[in-house]
Amino acid sequence: MSLIAIDLDGTLLNHRNEISEENIKAIQYAQERGFEVVISTGRAYFDVRKICEKAGLSTFVIGTNGATIHSKDEKRISAAAIDKNHVLSILRWLDERNYYYEVFTEKAIYTLKKGREDFYNEIKSMSSADLDADMKELVEMAERQFDQFGYVLVENYHDILKQEEDFYNILACSFDKKKLEEGWAQFKEFDELLVVSSADHNIEITSKNASKGIALEKLVSLTNCSLDQAMAIGDSNNDLSMLQKVGYSVAMGNAKDEIKNVCTATTLKNDENGVAHAIYQYLENLVIQK
């Protein structure tokens, strides 16, 4: 059995945060022919489930950058949480330096009320400014971030730490490139943590035991699929670990060159149904090989 792993933001989702009809049909076409389809994303599982329900799709889900895996019948089959002592030090460091941050658990996305307001106001202010095309796209991407399901607003990071839940992913945002680089350097020093990025305005922190690639390996072992025959589709730095695990890796047309350079193929952009295009080409190539 072969497997297809698909990132969400910038890949399966278009700029309206929707899965197009063309992409839905392509996924269903692959499933009807016995292919296992996996959504692999930095988003929380509960948010992904809402998106998939709206699209009428049922798939395995690798969530929070590989920290969780859920089956098609909504059971959690794997989890890798961040040690709570590390969560404390991360949040304290981010808070002292006025980063906007979100903390992902099984039930919610926790964020500070004031931090959210400040970051949203910054986005609105930049939206009305004269920006180049790349920066304009980045600001729009940051604004779409607030469309996620499951936000819980709190007064301070101590309120987050009081929650009797496991913490799977911490996302920190800034439009200040130097500030992001400082955050990346700070948390890269922790051997127990993994730092990735899903866009130029963020860094994402998980346990070192959590990545899309590690989760994909776990899922393959559970489903008797083959990584050699598997396809992965993505567009960002946090997709690299899974793109490097499979036999057929596909970069989105809107991906940066660093992603395209490690992939075996490049498809169309996310607003051009690039996922559907990649799936049909993949299935055609498999038939030819047989």
Domain that includes residue 16, residue range: 3-80+210-289
Are 51 and 71 part of one and the same domain?
yes
Q: Dump pLDDT digits (tens) for 203-223.
A: 999 999 999 999 999 999 888
7 catalytic? Reply is yes
Phi, psi of 116 (to 5 degrees): -65, -45
The tally of domains found in the chain comes to 2
Are 221 and 142 part of one and the same domain?
no
Are 93 and 195 part of one and the same domain?
yes
**The pLDDT of residue 287:** 58
Task: Tell me the Cα Rg of the chain.
Answer: 18
Q: Are 230 and 246 a contacting pair, CB within 8 Å?
A: yes
Are 107 and 200 part of one and the same domain?
yes
Are 23 and 114 part of one and the same domain?
no
Q: 207, 223, 249 — which closes off a domain?
A: 207
CA atoms of 198 and 204, how far apart (whole Å) = 8
Residue 163 DSSP class: S
Q: How many CB atoms lie within 10 A of CB 159?
A: 14
CA atoms of 263 and 260, how far apart (whole Å) = 5
Q: Dump pLDDT digits (tens) for 80-100.
A: 999 999 999 999 999 999 999
**The pLDDT of residue 135:** 85
Q: 170, 187, 207 — which closes off a domain?
A: 207
**The pLDDT of residue 268:** 98
**The pLDDT of residue 289:** 56
* Nearest alpha-carbon partner for 105 in 85, 72, 81, 70: 81
User: How far is Cα of residue 253 from the mean position of the Cα atoms in its chain?
Assistant: 17
**The pLDDT of residue 130:** 83
With residues binned 3-state (H G I as helix, E B as strand, rest as coil), the percentages for the chain, rounded to 5, are: 45, 20, 35
Q: Show the tokens assigned to 25.
A: 């049909």
Q: Are 87 and 192 a contacting pair, CB within 8 Å?
A: no
**The pLDDT of residue 81:** 98
**Residue 184 is part of a domain; what is its CATH number?**
3.30.1240.10
**The pLDDT of residue 194:** 97
Q: Are strands 202-207 and 193-196 parallel, antiparallel or unpaired?
A: antiparallel
**Residue 263 is part of a domain; what is its CATH number?**
3.40.50.1000
Residue 19 DSSP class: B
Q: Are 238 and 42 a contacting pair, CB within 8 Å?
A: yes
Q: pTM here?
A: 0.94
Are 203 and 90 part of one and the same domain?
yes
**The pLDDT of residue 192:** 96
**The pLDDT of residue 42:** 96
Are 203 and 88 part of one and the same domain?
yes
Are 36 and 92 part of one and the same domain?
no
Query: Can you list the residues of the chain whose pLDDT is less than 70?
Result: 1, 287-290
246-258 in b/e form (b: 16+ CB < 10 A) is: bebbbbbebbeee
